[in-house]
Structure 1
């Protein structure tokens, strides 16, 4: 059979083999890519953990135990152990008192074991088991029975514990009285730094004659009697405190040159006070310093309070050695027998030509312009003051003895008290109402200290009764000398903040939170201040 020519032959099917090779190549490339990817990212490989025969299984955590509930649970061993431990502690005290030291030692040992078991149970968060509790409960029960068998019965225990409680109360009361007494002593003592400052200033006053001449010129200045200016009075023997009052007032005044300050001090502090205010500038404000000993009209025949201050029986009652613990510590403050403290009742006599004046205590700091006080309408009243009856203990009956019929017939015991420290006085109305005469009357009525003890506020409440205009609370915020929790917003909004109390800002026992409010107005650049206070 003859072959067909080549052109007539059927073509060979090679297309299929080409596709096979193409697929094989693609698989090879994909395998290579997968190999490279897995080789470079071993962390992506998922491996099943294999648990060996000796693999450690994690302990199953128990749910946390509320140990407080466990102690309160009447059926728990923790409760039983706690009760036995409390009873055992009482018997330890009784055993020691009866000199049974061996029993006391055994009880103490079991108490420590009980405490250790309770602490372990609390830490592990599991209740105490019967196996753990039974030995301690049994041994404690035996020792408690042993103590009871030694006649330490419940009655003895109660009497002993009662005597211990009474002794502790007595010690606590004694410590409280002693602490108050020592705190009062610290508050009364003039710090060494202020004494140093006073000595340096009095030395300048005595040596420098120009200072004395300058003081005489200021005394005769027409500004001190000009009713078109704003007048402030301060009665103090504390130079630094008075300086802060003046400085804070002028620093916050819109027109400090229109301010006039009238300072009255005692003979001992007069020279140093003059030297300080003559050698320091207070933004052009006028400062007049007077000596109380030059007020010849202020004598025992005119002022009943002077008679009481000079009375030896009164001084012995409050300051005698045998009265140290009998008299309330705060009443033993020397300021109560200081005439400077009572001078506020004689303002119209001291400044007979003035019509209105603002009285400032030496433990205040002024934070706002006080000249607006002079334009307030007092509605015919004499005294403008901030009332303090937001607290019940600032009612009249807390200051004055209302068991006296003279008091109870004229005054309301629930009347609202008010504060000294920042007061605006209408001196024209004062003279018209003759308030000073009212003050004298009540001082004479209280010659035997039966209406009130000491201080200036009780007689002021009587003398200014019905003559006081309440001011907005923000004019005068009190308590910075004893209250550590005054709201910062109230302090910031206050025109005057008052460090009334024993923790004065110039003392080391001052409340640290408030002290910077006072220190910012201290002239710390003065060389004497740096020598005496800073160094």
Structure 2
């Protein structure tokens, strides 16, 4: 057995060597730890620096008329960075709570509230978010996001969580969209309180003054109402304000207003107010006739199938009781579709048996040019002259009619071009020859169960006037001002008639602002924008109480005394005095 070799080193030197190696190992570990820490800190600083340096060039930009929506969408704005960081932080709040890290979730939530507060203040002040305000929040939120990313590095979990979060937000957005559509439809169907008060006051005047009723009887027998050498326009509506705008704008732009004749039909509720208004105002010598639809005894359920459908209890319930059945789109629940006034356009030859040609106008149009040249247009034997709307794909026949039904598919072209009601030239001689009203009745009977089209007057109009419509120049009739936010101003300026079809009517607060407010480059607002606010805001509503009541009454009465030129209204002095006397008695 060998003996171990002798170690001649001193014990003290051996201990010193061990200490040296130990210190080297400790320093190496410490250096590695410092390197990792420094690397992480450098990465955090890089994230913060990147976030802060994005907009340094924009820090001193002067913002005039700041649009905060554009500000928050701008890639180079601090508001956009804060919004993006908030979105990411909200996702990590959910993840942190799922991992029971409530402290991190609380810190993230606190910073999110700080971001929201800063953005809210900037929006109220109408100023961009500055670097001084955004810098500390961006740094601290970036640090927390990096901490969350380091703690929850599972990308798959993060993606699943964010996906579920996005889906929940999409559901909320869909619900909000449906609510917005329904509320918008309700607003479009409503009558402003101020306008309703005008109806009541004018109806009272009509009932009190025998002279107005005698004057109406005299005008009812006027020979001008049946003179085919004059220019005849017909309107069917229960909206006094809208009809007044149509009449005023037509008369104001006519070369010979005394040759114009307006035939207005309304319902029994608004008949007195309409008579009082039009008999109490002069429209440059134009002739006006107001009729009550309830006086048309020949228009009954035995003659008109649409009247039978309108009186159907189930249909009435679906409109006026607001059932939970959502099979109909909100826009198709508009009560105008069950109003006989809306269908009266198909009975024009019966209403005016002695007339040969008329121009039909909707109550939501504004006339900007002389319309008398329409009466000299050659319709080439057709019944209806209208502007075609097939430049847009959704105005083809297949969008309105059910072509899966053989009754439709075998007789009509699904790609046939649609046209618009609102401005129509009707040759009543050709109408009677083709018996268009009978065609309308036939298609209404075929659609008794609603299988051919949903609702409205346009689909049966397409069917009844199929092959009998003469296209007009587009400049005669420009549509879409009640729903199209991007309609070209040049089209509006050059149009003879502009049509506010859609829910955003100019007499409602939800109307498109640039089309209602006066602008230098829009012909319509110059003529009408002052009229509507004066009539609506200057209402005859007297609801004040106490000692301030007389002051409010005087203010409202003074707003009614406007003498308006052009496309605007004029309230006669005797009507204002009558209202003032009643107001004094009430006080």
TM-score range, shorter chain: 0.7 to 0.9
Q: Which residue of 1 aligns with 2:387?
A: 386
Alpha carbons 2:202, 2:272 under 8 Å: kept: yes
Whole-angstrom distance in 1 between the partners of 2:259 and 2:506: 28
Q: CA deviation at 1:275?
A: 1.0
Q: Which residue of 2 aligns with 1:446?
A: 447
Q: Which residue of 2 aligns with 1:216?
A: 217
Q: CA deviation at 1:107?
A: 6.2
Does residue 352 of the first structure (1) align with residue 353 of the second (2)? yes
Q: CA deviation at 1:522?
A: 2.9
Q: CA deviation at 1:322?
A: 2.6
Q: Which residue of 2 aligns with 1:403?
A: 404
Alignment match of 2:569 (pick from 511, 517, 523): 523
Q: Which residue of 1 aligns with 2:456?
A: 455
Q: Which moved more, 1:188-197 or 1:515-524?
A: 515-524
Structure 1 gaps, min length 5: 1-64, 69-82, 113-121, 125-132
Gap change, CA 1:258 and 1:161, over 3 Å in 2:
same
**SS at 2:513's partner residue?**
coil
Alpha carbons 1:197, 1:529 under 8 Å: kept: no
* Deviation string, structure 1 residues 299-336 (Cα, Å, up to 9, x no partner): 11111111110001122334443336443111111100
Alpha carbons 1:107, 1:143 under 8 Å: kept: no
Whole-angstrom distance in 2 between the partners of 1:454 and 1:138: 59
Alpha carbons 2:253, 2:368 under 8 Å: kept: yes
Q: Which residue of 2 aligns with 1:479?
A: 480
* Deviation string, structure 1 residues 492-512 (Cα, Å, up to 9, x no partner): 111111111111111122222
Whole-angstrom distance in 2 between the partners of 1:277 and 1:350: 20
Whole-angstrom distance in 1 between the partners of 2:510 and 2:90: 40
Task: Name segments (4+ residues, structure 1) moved above 4 Å.
Answer: 65-68, 83-89, 105-112, 135-143, 524-532
Q: CA deviation at 1:429?
A: 0.4
Whole-angstrom distance in 2 between the partners of 1:88 and 1:237: 55
Q: Which residue of 2 aligns with 1:146?
A: 151
Q: CA deviation at 1:521?
A: 1.9
Q: CA deviation at 1:111?
A: 10
Q: Which residue of 2 aligns with 1:288?
A: 289
Whole-angstrom distance in 2 between the partners of 1:331 and 1:221: 40
Whole-angstrom distance in 2 between the partners of 1:334 and 1:494: 30
Q: Which residue of 2 aligns with 1:129?
A: none
Whole-angstrom distance in 1 between the partners of 2:394 and 2:252: 35
Alpha carbons 1:232, 1:261 under 8 Å: kept: yes
Q: Which residue of 2 aligns with 1:240?
A: 241
Q: Which residue of 2 aligns with 1:197?
A: 198
Whole-angstrom distance in 2 between the partners of 1:315 and 1:156: 53
Whole-angstrom distance in 2 between the partners of 1:85 and 1:487: 38
Gap change, CA 1:306 and 1:401, over 3 Å in 2:
same
Whole-angstrom distance in 1 between the partners of 2:319 and 2:166: 33
Whole-angstrom distance in 1 between the partners of 2:253 and 2:195: 25
Gap change, CA 1:97 and 1:320, over 3 Å in 2:
farther
Q: CA deviation at 1:298?
A: 0.5
Does residue 509 of the first structure (1) align with residue 510 of the second (2)? yes
Q: Which residue of 2 aligns with 1:71?
A: none
* Deviation string, structure 1 residues 76-107 (Cα, Å, up to 9, x no partner): xxxxxxx9998776333211355531132466
User: Which is higher, the Rg of structure 1 or of structure 2?
Assistant: 1
**SS at 2:514's partner residue?**
coil
* Deviation string, structure 1 residues 220-274 (Cα, Å, up to 9, x no partner): 1111111111100000111121111111111111111111110000011111111
Q: Which residue of 2 aligns with 1:330?
A: 331
* Deviation string, structure 1 residues 383-436 (Cα, Å, up to 9, x no partner): 000011111111111111111111111111111111100100000000111111
* Deviation string, structure 1 residues 325-373 (Cα, Å, up to 9, x no partner): 4431111111000000000000000001110000001111111111100
Q: What is the number of equivalent residue pairs in this alignment?
A: 436
Alpha carbons 1:381, 1:468 under 8 Å: kept: yes
Q: Which residue of 1 aligns with 2:122?
A: none
Q: Which residue of 1 aligns with 2:265?
A: 264
* Deviation string, structure 1 residues 128-176 (Cα, Å, up to 9, x no partner): xxxxx9x99999766545335xxxx444333322221121111111111
Does residue 495 of the first structure (1) align with residue 496 of the second (2)? yes
Whole-angstrom distance in 2 between the partners of 1:278 and 1:137: 72
**SS at 2:491's partner residue?**
helix
Alpha carbons 1:88, 1:111 under 8 Å: kept: yes
Alpha carbons 2:108, 2:141 under 8 Å: kept: no
Gap change, CA 1:321 and 1:157, over 3 Å in 2:
same
Whole-angstrom distance in 1 between the partners of 2:400 and 2:407: 15
Alpha carbons 1:254, 1:369 under 8 Å: kept: yes
Q: CA deviation at 1:197?
A: 1.1
Matches within 5 A, 1:117-132: none
Gap change, CA 1:485 and 1:524, over 3 Å in 2:
farther
Q: Which residue of 2 aligns with 1:73?
A: none
Whole-angstrom distance in 2 between the partners of 1:454 and 1:322: 17
Q: Which residue of 2 aligns with 1:24?
A: none
Whole-angstrom distance in 1 between the partners of 2:464 and 2:495: 27
Alpha carbons 2:85, 2:141 under 8 Å: kept: no
Q: CA deviation at 1:290?
A: 0.6
Gap change, CA 1:497 and 1:345, over 3 Å in 2:
same
Q: CA deviation at 1:469?
A: 0.3
Gap change, CA 1:484 and 1:214, over 3 Å in 2:
same
Whole-angstrom distance in 1 between the partners of 2:246 and 2:141: 69
Q: Which residue of 2 aligns with 1:433?
A: 434
Q: Which residue of 2 aligns with 1:72?
A: none
Whole-angstrom distance in 1 between the partners of 2:345 and 2:288: 18
Name the Cα RMSD after superposition. Answer: 3.2
Whole-angstrom distance in 2 between the partners of 1:111 and 1:310: 57
Matches within 5 A, 1:158-237: 158-237=159-238
Whole-angstrom distance in 1 between the partners of 2:200 and 2:394: 42
Alpha carbons 1:110, 1:140 under 8 Å: kept: no
Whole-angstrom distance in 2 between the partners of 1:265 and 1:136: 64
Gap change, CA 1:387 and 1:207, over 3 Å in 2:
same
Gap change, CA 1:208 and 1:164, over 3 Å in 2:
same
**SS at 1:185's partner residue?**
helix
**TM-score when normalising by structure 2:** 0.69
Gap change, CA 1:96 and 1:469, over 3 Å in 2:
same
**TM-score when normalising by structure 1:** 0.75
